[in-house]
Structure 1
Amino acid sequence: MTSAAELIADARGALEGIPKEGLGEERSSRWRGDRIVRVGEAWHVGVLLLTDDRTLVTAEILRAADPGRRGYTAESARERAARRQMALRGGFGEGEVAHIGWTVVDLDAVDAGGSSGPLAMRDGVPMVNWSGSAYRPLEAYLREQLELLRP
């Protein structure tokens, strides 16, 4: 049996040389205002973010940008533009990807037969829930995602 931890470790090895994307966290201060600051970097592998030592679940993904002067027909578009500007203000470069709101996956819990985030052990096979209700083997999922990332 191959564990989820082993599959993730193998994926990390295969990702060497592929660029990482920024991990951000929201910060607020009286002097610097609201911003999204860089707290690390990770490879974006489908529903997962892989750092050098952690496995995370993706959440909000945005590109840092200056909203400029625009009229918005939807309040949600205005809010999204404000969040892109928060990333720019927090130190992300113009157009750089920022992952916000991610959570940590407990691979030990998965390998013990449980679940964490989108990963679960089903009949001794590490599985990933990649579309809300559809589980598939983690090994095949990672293989497919790695192929998409390779130049």
Structure 2
Amino acid sequence: MDMQGATASALLASARAGLAGAPREGLGEERESRWRGHRIVRIGEAWHLGVLLLTEEHTLATAEVLRAADPGRRGYTAESARERAARRALALRGGFGEGEVAHIGWSVIDVDAVDAGGSSGPLAVIDGVPSVRWSTAGGWMPLEAYLRERVQLLRDAVA
């Protein structure tokens, strides 16, 4: 992926091409109905690249990541652990398989705004270079290097 001076959309398109055949993770959405109750249902899938999720059409910012699971024992010492177990159970109830990863609360990144020199989610143009804020506390990193590293990590996990 040597794309000196490339736009964010070109870099992301190149990453998608490099991810062909790599495993994807589920995109979930909370739903509530009178008949089926509260649950997290699968609405798609994406490649998980750190703070980014790539679908065939969109680039998303990650938010909550959980594994679908039965809540099991109820003797949690922390309320946060109890809540996390309940959320994992919602994904299981919504159709995710046991142990399957579900991404919830993600948001669509406006890549066109980034290409125009602006920012959206964790992406921005910094000193003319498409960049990514790879953690809330971290600084900016060139998007090209970030994608190259993340795509390679995901490809290596398959090999």
Post-superposition offset of 1:131: 1.9
**Map of 1:129 onto structure 2:** 133
**Map of 1:75 onto structure 2:** 79
Matched, 1:147 2:147: no
**Map of 1:112 onto structure 2:** 116
Equivalent of 1:65 in 69, 94, 104? 69
**Map of 1:24 onto structure 2:** 28
Q: Which runs of 4+ in 1 moved over 4 A?
A: none
Cα distance in 2 for partners of 1:28, 1:125 equals: 42
Cα distance in 2 for partners of 1:12, 1:131 equals: 22
Post-superposition offset of 1:70: 2.8
Structure 2 unmatched ranges of 5 or more: none
Post-superposition offset of 1:141: 0.5
Tell me the TM-score normalised to structure 2 length: 0.93
Structure 1 unmatched ranges of 5 or more: none
Equivalent of 2:15 in 5, 11, 23? 11
**Map of 2:37 onto structure 1:** 33
Tell me the TM-score normalised to structure 1 length: 0.98
Q: Which amino acid aligns with 1:144?
A: E
Post-superposition offset of 1:30: 1.6
Post-superposition offset of 1:31: 1.4
Count of residues in Structure 1 that have an aligned counterpart in Structure 2: 151
CA RMSD after TM alignment:
0.8
Cα distance in 2 for partners of 1:75, 1:31 equals: 28
CA-to-partner distance for each residue in 1:76-123, whole Å, 9 max, x for gaps? Answer: 000000000000000000000000000000000001010000000112
Cα distance in 1 for partners of 2:134, 2:10 equals: 19
Identical counterparts, % of pairs: 74
Post-superposition offset of 1:69: 2.5
